[in-house]
């Protein structure tokens, strides 16, 4: 099984036009898995980046329109999600899945994360194995 993935620093997706352009770009480039940083979504908005072709598998959002990371999957991709994690501060999210019989974690973190903050998430890194 082969799939195409990308990591995108988007700097805000609160505009409908920008969300549409992003989804169109992903479809045009046949992206199966997109790891998106800086969505600037609030918790209630985290499923706004979805259409007939893509859905949000996991999204970490903050209370204000800052930070925000998400894992976007093509709907036609047959992945079963074993587990997911979404931080409350909008900086880290991941999903765990099986690909060709191997456990895989699709992990995305904010570009602004610092090592001191990262150390707070060590408990979750142990769960990735």
Its pTM stands at: 0.84
Q: What is the pLDDT of residues 23-37, one digit of tens each?
A: 999 999 999 999 999
Q: What is the pLDDT of residues 69-108, one digit of tens each?
A: 999 999 998 888 999 988 888 888 889 998 878 888 888 8
Residue 106 lies in domain: 5-127
User: Which CATH number does the domain housing residue 112 bear?
Assistant: 3.60.10.10
Cβ proximity of 74 and 50 under 8 Å: no
Q: Choose among 34, 41, 36: nearest CA to 13.
A: 41
The total domain count for the chain is 1
Measured CA distances, 70 to 5, 50, 101 (Å): 13, 11, 24
What one-character DSSP code corresponds to residue 18? Answer: H
């Amino acid at each position: 099984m082969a799939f195409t993935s990308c990591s995108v620093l988007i700097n805000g997706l609160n505009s409908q036009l920008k969300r549409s352009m992003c989804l169109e770009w992903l479809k045009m480039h046949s992206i199966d898995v997109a790891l998106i940083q800086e969505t600037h979504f609030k918790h209630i908005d985290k499923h706004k980046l979805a259409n007939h072709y893509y859905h949000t598998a996991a999204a970490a959002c903050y209370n204000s329109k800052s930070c925000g990371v998400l894992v976007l999957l093509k709907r036609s991709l047959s992945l079963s999600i074993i587990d997911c994690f979404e931080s409350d501060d909008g900086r880290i999210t991941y999903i765990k899945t099986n690909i060709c019989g191997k456990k895989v974690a699709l992990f995305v973190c904010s570009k602004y994360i610092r090592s001191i903050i990262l150390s707070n998430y060590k408990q979750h890194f142990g769960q990735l194995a």
